[in-house]
Structure 1
Amino acid sequence: MHPVRSALALAGLLVSTALAVPAEVANPTEHHPVFECNLPVHTERLPTYALGHSLVFPQDKLQAIIKGAAGGGARIDEREDDSGRYWYSRETLVGRFDKKTNETFVLPDLPSLKPGDIKLNGELLKILMADRSIIANDKTLAGIVIGSRLDGSRQVLRKEPSPPASYLLEGAVRRAIPYESASHPVCGPGSQAVFSFDASGNIRGLRHAWKPATSQGTSLQPLRPDQIRARIAEKLAESGLDGNATVRHVDLCFYDSGAAHIQPVFRFNATVRSAGGPATALLVGYIPASDKGALEPLPNITNPDRGALPGPSLPQYDPGLNATRSPRSATTLARLPGPSRRDGAIALGRYLMNGDGLSPTFIEEGWGLWSGLHSASSRFVDAQYYWDDARGYNEWAWYYVNNVDVAFSDGHGWPHHFLTNGGLPGGGTVTISSDLYAKGFGASAEGRGLSYWILGECSVIPAPTDFPAGQGHLAFDPWWKVFDGGMRAAVGYRDLAFTNPPKWSEVGMALGYGASVVHGFMSTMLPTGKTSAVTRCGRDGETIFQVGGLGKPDCLTIWWYN
């Protein structure tokens, strides 16, 4: 799950002159991945770098960005605890500074954004890049690139959608390493400096984490292409994915963990076929670029040992088998036990695809989301944690997805579809909206009901521009029924996306501290894929603590990143 865009983001700035070994397109076998890409050839010894202390984004510039992000005239309240400093506009998180890592992020107020023909403020970016408390002055390289663009469209009930319009454009400072007379990208979670500009050329958003780097010399001999192929196959085999994976791209990059080192790695992007249905997932993996191994741990593709597994597919009682629990009307089904809204609890339900090679990763992502939410606020309750089941979105919706405030589903997907169980014919496909509860999702007068649906699957929320010209309404059509029950927002992806469990912890923390659900998710998860969201018009800035039914909508907005 999570997009090739992030792996190739530096293509316009960083050009490799490495030789390449042609791809060997083999037939897929039970035990070997297919390589449909060239393998890089490097001969010079590889450099490594030691990282120094984290830079702290200048407070005067940060305060100006925070004020602008909140819409200019809004009052900003600053709060602080042992782990960080936080800035709020009313009860919505605008910015956060992490005291441990010195990482800083600022999120824009979506309702205050105006559409326009957005261009990067190049002069301002150059001034920021020249500030040595933002970008370190060292032997690494840095350059400005155009990042992602936030677009939006709205549709009033029974009318044509508005033309797509642009609201934000990212300008990013990308780090690179000089090697073999070329520049090679720095990858990984460290070295971030991304600024979001509005139609007036003002900065409305920020992601910053940067450490100075000191060269440790060039002592590592790079792997040969045959060794690269073997190590990637081993990496996939460790996760049980070698038999259904196709490696699409391999390149040399320098991994910045944000901890102690920038180290050379070979990064590979692969597609993995789902156990059922037509969906594919994307994953990114890293192997050390030399025989000496990694200077510090690299991310695993999957982690099958993360905590408890989800519960069984059946609820605590089966509405189809237990007559005392099977009233005639689905609207009166007895609910699974859960916290009442009177105590202020926010109930989370996690529903993860079973029977698939990436199921361990879906488990890891589900745990990441929960750990992030819980670490930020004690109001969250892990109310449900099950292997996914298509019936939980239809005849059993009142037991499952419509019995919690926030639902997280994770697995494989494609536009307006997702899979629930790879062991079933067709993968237990759910189609939005024909396979969903007829009256939609949301809180009714009787109490709890779904307010926010977080979809970890690829491509489930396409944008109007993903359809032929003049047919943008197809992006909206299935969602009207879903929102009829009073649901507030659905967030996810419009394209293939890379698996990235640590990001799910990060987004859980952002939402738990009070970031808007829509852009808190879209901005945080953007490095993993082209994010998107469907929400009620005018409610784009609501937080995860704003729950409860709203009735049938008369206007919907779709936001998406390009």
Structure 2
Amino acid sequence: MVWSGRCRVTRFKPPVNEASPGLYWLDATAIWARNACVTAGYAHPDLCVDAVQKKYKGKYTLTCGLPSSSGDLSPVPCHKRAISTMMRASNHLFHLLTLTSLVVAQRMDPNATISSLHNDQGDGVDHYESQGYMPLTVPFVDGHSNSGAPENTSMRRHSNSKVFFYDENHEVVAFIDQAAAQARIFPDYGALKPLTAPADIKGVFVDLEHQGSAFPPDDTRIELVEGSSLLGSEGVLPPTEGYGTVARRWNDAGNTTYLTLGTVRRFVESNSAKIPVCGPGSQASFGVGHENKLVSLSYQWRAAKKACKKRKPLPANKVLKQIDEALEKYRSPCRSVRIKTIDLCMYDSGARYIQPVYRVIAEPFDPSKNSTTSVKQILEYIPFGGDAIEPILPPGQAFSGVDGDEQALQPNTVDISKRSLLNYFDARNSKLRITVGRYVVRNDSDGFVEDARNFWSNLAPSTIYEFVRKGFFWAYPRLYNKDANFFVNDVNVALTEAHGKFHGFTTYDATAAIDFVNIPSDLAPGGFGPISNGGKGQLGYWFIDACEVMPTLTDFEAIKDPNPQGRTFDPWWPVFRGGIHAVLSWRTSALFADNTAASAAQEIALGRPVVQAWLDAAQADPAYRGRPTYVGGGTGLADWPFGRAAAIFRCGRIGDKVSNLENLGAPTCLSARWWNNN
């Protein structure tokens, strides 16, 4: 049966996994069907299959094809030989492959995991109703001014409930939002002195707790834990630039600790078990710096009272169906999804209720390929006991910003200048213009496009800068190399959305085999920034929102690399040769559910320094609360935490704002800052 130039077969029914009926059969089917296509002679490296349920007599259709930039399957020549090969496949072999691939794909038994969670909570789980909150006042912020926040702050009301605080240089240092029961004190990373002794987070917590009853007694519990520490190092220009120097340069500084976070974890006790609180509400963390001074605060809290009615668990198969439906949007013809972990937590939206949910971490993958990249993973919250009591904010949507964004386009050097000119005419002239380009991996999850949109939508409302869109493109290696001066190096701020691995990122799905960009060998000679392109380069700040692209001393020391300092800095010297001010990325894997890029953009739009905004947004992101872990892609080590950001920048320029685009010449010293594994 041949039509539309594709090879389709409709004479099979996939086996049913009794533990999780209907779940993940596509993974096994895709492996079997791809093998059949390859056997028939279609051994293209991008070959994948589309397994789609049809309404015709409950059977299914297989499509052999090649992925296009839109994520659909492009036609490939099909012949009767391909059909007959697939039709002759042994049923016994098919079932054997299916069962084997399900075990490999799943990596866990979700049915057993859910059943175990239900056994622990046999009579159900209570939900909680948010009560009043601590009335946040100006002294709550000003009271800490002698501990890190600048004195002589001035207030500026942005809404009926939200007040921002500015220092004498008109830089935002804090805000209070009465409606959300939220307060922030932004750290000044440039003013931080190295710690000379371990931080006393307990002592600082006691002082904080006594100021205004920040954690009023209620039906929940809290515990103080030591969070991540901000580490730093500096590297000087090596005698011979390049990647992979063998001997350590002993004049380079090693690890230095600049602050340590104290984190207040909230939980409830249910049937002798501790269930942590998750979600965007109920957050409290503070940074302790030199001489145990409080240098930062991220706080959102409401008292909570136990409701009268328990939430009863649904049968495991119904829960699995809910999970399957939630993960469906991440699947495509060439991409399946496997569950990594499932646990229970109490979701706090910051609104009215704290409700029980299943917290699911899953991983997209191509069952026909072995990925060598660190794939961006998925976080979903599934209501416990049926429908949600109140809407669960979709992960990654906390910072939706403004509407009206453009569509991602195929890059074309012919019309790029015309598009930019039109955008300039549309822009207002009253504020400093900052051009922004976004470059998104092809043939992958819509989550990358969503993150790019949220990044822009939080820059756009700025009252300080006029951010101008200068390209929203599907990524190709040439945008970073031979055509870089038309794209990445032709904007002031660039955002790359992709999968990654140590010193590299993808431009086509999650594979390192096709159109992968290695740093620095696949980047434009001469680097990026105002020195490059004969003095016409524009790039000042490059955000690479991809997993494990920026490993640091913490990573290389963990795997006993003989030259951790050189491995941290050497790949980046050729990039900075062009005069770029900073590169921002991740040293560990990230989650689609985070809001780090969007919330960093929001802080930048308020006038916060770029490096500081990125590091601050990452450590405060609710997706990484509770320290979820994975097996490190570059280290191969278990218990590696998600969401540890890193930044490399010119020495002495950690305070640069997005408006700092001046030509500073080629650097002779680079600084790095990153969050460690705690």
Structure-2 residue corresponding to 1:157:
237
Distance change (3 Å), C-alpha of 1:84 and 1:302 = closer
Q: Pick closer, same or farther for the CA change 1:107–1:554 going to 2, 3 Å.
A: same
Residue of 93, 107, 110 corresponding to 2:189? 110
One-letter amino acid of the counterpart of residue 360, structure 2: F
User: 2:328 aligns to what?
Assistant: 237
C-alpha displacement of 1:109: 1.6
Moved more, 387-396 or 92-101: 92-101
Shift of 1:213: 1.3
* Contact kept in structure 2, 1:56 and 1:134, CA below 8 Å: no
- Residues 476 and 348 from structure 1, CA distance in 2 versus in 1: closer, same or farther, beyond 3 angstroms? same
Q: Secondary structure at the match of 1:465?
A: helix
Partner SS for 2:167: strand
- 1:199 deviates by 2.9
The one of 279, 297, 301 equivalent to 2:391 is 297
**Counterpart-to-counterpart distance in 2, 1:196 and 1:234:** 39
SS of aligned partner of 1:47: strand
Say if 1:141 and 1:175, in contact at 8 Å, map to a contact too: yes
Q: Are 2:383 and 1:288 aligned?
A: yes
Query: Deviation digits for residues 148-206 of structure 1, max 9, x if unmatched?
Result: 11100101112443111111100011111121112210000100110100131111111
- The Cα offsets for residues 362-399 of structure 1, whole Å up to 9 and x where unpaired, read as 11111111111112335111221111121111111111
Q: Deviations over 1:252-277 (max 9, x none)?
A: 10000111211110001122237895
- The Cα offsets for residues 5-31 of structure 1, whole Å up to 9 and x where unpaired, read as xxxxxxxxxxxxxxxx99x99994347
Structure 2 equivalent of residue 322 of structure 1: none
What secondary structure does 1:200 align onto?
A: helix
Question: How far off is 1:130 after superposition?
Answer: 4.9
Equivalent residues of 1:57, 1:134 under 8 A apart? no
SS of 2:484's equivalent? coil
In the alignment, is residue 429 of structure 1 matched against residue 516 of structure 2? Answer: yes
- Equivalent residue number for residue 35 of structure 2: none
- Picking from 406, 430, 447, the partner of 1:361 is 447
Uncovered stretches (5+) of structure 1, i.e. residues with no partner = 1-20, 319-324, 326-333
Aligned length: 522
Contact 2:371 2:510 (C-alpha < 8 Å) held by counterparts: no
CA shift, 1:46, in A, is 1.5
- Residue type matched to 1:512 in 2? A
The alignment's TM-score, normalised by the length of structure 2, stands at 0.71
| 1:196 match | 287
Residue 10 of structure 1 aligns with which residue?
none
Specify the alignment match of 2:204 in structure 1: 124
1:402–1:450 contact (8 Å) kept in structure 2: yes
What is the rounded CA distance, in whole Å, between the counterparts of 1:496 and 1:191 in structure 2? 24
SS in 2 for 1:453: strand
Do the aligned partners of 1:522 and 1:531 also contact (CA within 8 Å) in 2? Answer: yes
Q: CA contact under 8 A between 1:189 and 1:256: conserved in structure 2?
A: yes
Aligned residue identity for 1:408: L
Shift of 1:423: 9.3
Aligned partner letter, 2:489: N
Q: Is the 8 A contact 1:146 1:172 kept in 2?
A: yes
Q: Aligned equivalents of 1:105 and 1:60: distance in 2?
A: 13
The amino acid of 1:490's aligned partner reads V
What is the one-letter code of the residue matched to 2:191?
S
The alignment status of 1:257 with 2:349, answered yes or no, reads yes
- 1:154 is matched by which residue type in structure 2? E
Separation in 2, partners of 1:484, 1:93: 32
Distance 1:36 1:306 in 2: 42
Q: Is the 8 A contact 2:164 2:172 kept in 1?
A: no
Contact 2:597 2:614 in 1 (8 A): no
Match of 1:349 among 437, 443, 453: 437
501 and 309 in structure 1: CA distance in 2 versus 1, 3 angstrom threshold: farther
Distance 1:152 1:57 in 2: 34
Equivalent residues of 1:268, 1:286 under 8 A apart: yes
Alignment of 1:317-356 (within 5 A): 317=415, 337=421, 339=424, 344-356=432-444
- Root mean square deviation of aligned Cα: 3.1
Instruction: Out of 203-212 and 504-513, give the one that drifted further.
Output: 504-513
Q: Which string of whole-angstrom CA distances, capped at 9 and with x for unpartnered residues, describes residues 301-356 of structure 1? A: 689x99643011323448xxxxxx9xxxxxxxx99546499962011111111101
**Per-residue deviation, 1:131:** 4.9
Displacement after TM superposition at 1:491 (Å): 0.9
Rounded to whole Å, the distance in 2 between the matches of 1:58 and 1:98 is: 10
- Mapped pair 1:139 → 2:216: no
Change (3 A) 1:136 1:65: same
Query: How many angstroms apart in 2 are the aligned matches of 1:380 and 1:27?
Result: 43
Give the structure 1 partner of residue 300 of structure 2: 209
Query: Following the alignment from structure 1 to structure 2, what is the Cα–Cα distance between the partners of residues 462 and 89?
Result: 37
User: 1:85-118: CA deviations, max 9, x gaps?
Assistant: 2323625432222354242212222222122233
The answer for the alignment partner of 1:553 in structure 2 is 667
Specify the SS of the correspondent of 1:370: helix
- Structure showing greater radius of gyration is 2
Shift of 1:424: 8.6
Q: Which has the higher helix share?
A: 2
- Which amino acid letter does the alignment assign opposite residue 147 of structure 1? G
List aligned pairs for 1:377-392, cutoff 5 A: 377=463, 378-392=465-479
Tell me: CA distance 1:457–1:432, structure 2 relative to 1, closer, same or farther (3 Å): same
The letter of the residue matching 2:384 is A
SS in 2 for 1:143: strand
In 2, distance between residues paired with 1:188 and 1:215? Answer: 18
Segment of structure 1 superposing worse, 339-348 or 452-461: 339-348
Measured after TM superposition, the shift of residue 507 of structure 1 is: 2.0
Deviations 1:389-432 (A, max 9, x none): 21111111111111111101111011111001229982421111
Structure 2 distance, partners of 1:67, 1:213, is 32
- Are 2:278 and 1:187 aligned? yes
Q: Structure 1 residues 124 and 110, CA, compared in 2 at 3 Å: closer, same or farther? A: closer
Cα distance in 2, alignment partners of residues 276 and 343 from structure 1: 49
Give the partner amino acid of 2:326.
K
Q: Which moved more, 1:523-532 or 1:97-106?
A: 97-106
Mapped partners of 1:121, 1:454: distance in 2: 32
Q: What's the counterpart of residue 270 of structure 1?
A: 362
Aligned match of 1:309 in 360, 384, 407?
A: 407
Alignment of 1:456-495 (within 5 A): 456-467=545-556, 468-472=560-564, 473-495=566-588
Tell which has more relative contact order, 1 or 2 (C-alpha 8 A, sep 6+): 1
Report the equivalent of 1:80.
157
Distance 1:217 1:131, change over 3 A: farther
AA partner of residue 454 (structure 2): G
**Preserved contact between residue 277 and residue 429 of structure 1 (Cα < 8 Å):** no
Query: Which amino acid is 1:344 matched to?
Result: L
1:34 equivalent to 2:113? Answer: no
- Give 3-state SS (helix, strand or coil) of 1:150's partner: strand
Q: Provide the C-alpha distance between the structure 2 equivalents of 1:513 and 1:301, rounded to a whole number of angstroms.
A: 24
Between the aligned residues of both structures, percent identity stands at 27
Check 1:127–1:539 CA distance in 2 against 1; reply closer, same or farther (3 A cut): same
Counterparts of 2:574 and 2:447 in 1: how far apart (Å)? Answer: 31
